[in-house]
Structure 1
Amino acid sequence: MVEGSPPPTRLSSPSRTAGLSTAFVALAALCWGISGGIGGILTDQNWDPIVVSFYRGAIGLLFVLVWLAVRPRGSGLANPRLWVWSAIAGVGVAGNFAFYFISIAEGSVAVAATLMYCAPVFVYLVSFALKLERPTLIKWAAIAMVMMGIVLLTGVYKVGAGEVTLIAAGAGLLSGLSYAIFIFGFKYAAPHGSPQAILVIAFTVLAILLFLLGDAEQTAAVLQTPSWPLFVVLGVLGAGLSFIFYIVGLNHTAPAVASIVAMVEPVTASLFGVVLLNETLGALQVFGMVLILLTVTALSVHSRAD
């Protein structure tokens, strides 16, 4: 509580504020999970995953531009370091969106979402290499368990007859690696400006990259297709509201709690794929998925508790 402010009322009590913030984080994760399912529908309709990713990011850019216009103070836009690190974050989120939808198009929503959830493992490995994080036996054991989960989920142990194609598995892991790049970029940009300014730069970089890499004919065709409402919903949920909810929610949510709540995303995406897209998972795949989700969550909680 700030000195000189009135005593908190029941509506503004710390516990109620924390509960509301956690709900925002959960809502963001739910939006991301649903966006994976919507991406699955669009790629099933033969839309280019890069084009789908472009519209997700471009619509998100509109939202964060409004956020920056409403809250312009402390943006840090005059700081060159903000631009450099935010641009790196933009490359990361562009790769995250694109590889995620490529993995969905080549495999399934459940597998893609679970592999992307491995992002904290990549963060650890990069941190170990840069000596930003001290490796411990627990962390290495957790990483080994995640790798075992990936083997079970993708079925790579079945020589020549894996459950998941190499492209689907590789793109899913690259989406996680790209998200790790976004995390690093955002982390190092944060001291130099506001979250909304960082996201404006990041999403602008994303929109430029994916527009150049995407199919120009399909990009234009989206504006006249009957599927355009799905693209709008994807952008609003997958990048517009979700990133704002998540950042606002983190202000009063314990990192360990946020790590656990984030499991809503892959679980929601998996249920969306199974229920609405008729995707199926074998018993070993389900076990591998659960092993990954529980281990990554425990690893994140353990790290924040250090």
Structure 2
Amino acid sequence: MRRFAGVGLVMLAAICWGISGGIADILMSKGWDPIVISFYRGAVGFVCFLAWFLIRIKQNWIISGRLYIWSLLAGVGVAGNFTFYFLSIEASSIAVAATLMYTAPVFVLLFSFLLRIERSTWFKWGCIFGVLMGIILLTGAYNTESISVSFLGAAAGLAAGLSYALFIFGFKNASSIGKPQTTLTTAFFSFCLILFLFMDKGEAGAVVTSSDLGWFVLLGLVGAGISFIIYVIGIRSTAPTTASMVAMVEPVTASLFGVLILGDHLTLIQILGMVVILSTITVLSVKQSE
């Protein structure tokens, strides 16, 4: 029952991430730089986690080198995931970038197998294959005639997937050592520090006095402040491979957000991709609960 609850929390966090993708799309359509948007998403989340940490600082403060190393690696993974994802979109297309980023379960499974955290089974490989097929159908990456993939686009997309795997492992290991408050505060401190070095400082400062500040705050609350608290709690009782695959509900949520809020249209093949993803996640969740 506890495992099933863990999978449910990870899925809920992924839904929040999908919604935050729609909010980010609104901000990008207003002309804001993707890196600045990502920074504020993490910065608002960091403020929430720091406040949560300070409420009971004596209980949350833990002196453990391994805890802070894993937390820092998780922050590097989140920053790398966002940065390489945007680079891949710029160099190729969003369809290619999304498909390559969601190869993360393959990296997670390989690392889990090499580190002897999990056993490699045909069932897990079947779930990975099913989810990836669903992502390809959903994003339209199967249409090779209309997609031009550069080496930089492909490399950046795979790096985004590898970064995603890194932050899953980082959060998983850090959460097993210390409290979620400590893990999230440390991870997002490193996240903000890294993106601060790369973003446009002038544009970031303009956000504070702009009429879009409310969108940035909402993005940070939904995309980090609430979702990552739920995620860290859920991943404590969820295997890394399962967590990475269940989180694939994010692109489905983002697509639905686009249809219902932004007026986008889905083809029959894209709807089929959603069904494949959700069906695979459902089967995986039932198996995990058993």
- For the aligned pair, the TM-score class normalised by the smaller chain equals 0.7 to 0.9
* Corresponding residue number in structure 1 for 2:131: 146
Cα separation, partners in 2 of 1:165 and 1:118, compared to 1, 3 Å: same
SS at match of 1:177: helix
Structure 2: distance between partners of 1:137 and 1:260: 15
Q: For residues 305 and 44 of structure 1, what CA distance do their matches in structure 2 show?
A: 41
User: 2:192 is matched with which residue?
Assistant: 207
> Deviations for 1:2-61, whole angstroms, at most 9, x for unmatched residues?
xxxxxxxxxxxx99xx99x99876654443232111011111222111111100001100
Cα pair distance change 1:244/1:134, threshold 3 Å: closer
Instruction: Provide the rounded CA distance (Å) in 1 between the counterparts of 2:143 and 2:41.
Output: 35
Q: Which residue in the other structure is 2:265 paired with?
A: 280
Change (3 A) 1:262 1:136: closer
Call closer, same or farther: CA 1:103–1:220 in 2, change over 3 Å: same
3-state SS in 1 of match to 2:203: helix
Query: How many residue pairs were aligned?
Result: 286
Cα 1:169–1:221, aligned 2, differ >3 Å: closer, same or farther?
farther
Counterpart code for 1:180? A
The 1:196/1:111 distance shift into structure 2, 3 A limit, reads: farther
Matched, 1:123 2:108: yes
In 1: Cα distance, 2:231 partner to 2:109 partner: 22
Aligned to 2:52: 67
Structure 2: segments with no counterpart, 5+ residues: none
Larger radius of gyration: 1
Could you tell me how far apart the structure 1 residues matched to 2:181 and 2:35 are? 24
Instruction: Tell me the TM-score normalised to structure 1 length.
Output: 0.75
Looking at structure 1, the residues matched to 149 and 112 of structure 2 have their Cα atoms a distance apart, in angstroms, of 29
**1:269 to 2:260 alignment:** no
Q: Deviations over 1:215-252 (max 9, x none)?
A: 2222122122221111111111111122224445678x
Match of 2:30 among 42, 45, 58: 45
Give the direction of change, closer, same or farther, for the CA distance of 1:277–1:53 in structure 2 (3 Å limit): same
| Correspondence 1:227 to 2:212 | yes
State the alpha-carbon separation in 2 of the partners of residues 159 and 66 from structure 1. Answer: 48
Q: 1:247 to 1:128 in 2, by over 3 A?
A: closer
CA shift for structure 1 position 201: 0.7
Shift of 1:289: 3.7
Percent identity between the two aligned chains: 52
Q: What is residue 228 of structure 2 aligned with on the other side?
A: 243
Determine the C-alpha separation between the residues in 1 that align with 2:38 and 2:218: 13
Contact map agreement 1:119 1:176 (CA 8 A) in 2? yes
Q: CA deviation at 1:202?
A: 0.3
State whether structure 2 residue 17 is matched by structure 1 residue 35.
no
Report the alpha carbon displacement of residue 263 of structure 1 after superposing the two structures with TM.
6.7
For 1:159, the equivalent position in structure 2 comes to 144
Aligned pairs for 1:193-204 (under 5 A) are 193-204=178-189
Distance in 1 of aligned mates of 2:81 and 2:106: 15
Does the 8 Å contact 1:29/1:264 carry over to 2? yes
List per-residue Cα deviations over 1:245-296 (Å, max 9, x = no partner). Answer: 4445678x888x9899867644332111122223333322332343234325
Q: Which amino acid aligns with 1:41?
A: I
The alignment's TM-score, normalised by the length of structure 2, stands at 0.78
Task: Judge which range, 264-273 or 183-192, deviates more.
Answer: 264-273
Q: CA deviation at 1:154?
A: 4.0
RMSD: 3.9
Query: 2: distance between equivalents of 1:272 and 1:113?
Result: 16
| Aligned pair partner of 2:42 in 37, 57, 60 | 57
* Uncovered stretches (5+) of structure 1, i.e. residues with no partner: 1-13
CA distance in 2, matches of 1:294, 1:174: 27
Q: Is the alpha carbon distance of 1:254 and 1:30 closer, same or farther for their aligned partners in structure 2, counting shifts above 3 Å? A: same
| Structure 1 residue 190, shift from structure 2 partner | 2.6
Q: Which moved more, 1:274-283 or 1:22-31?
A: 22-31
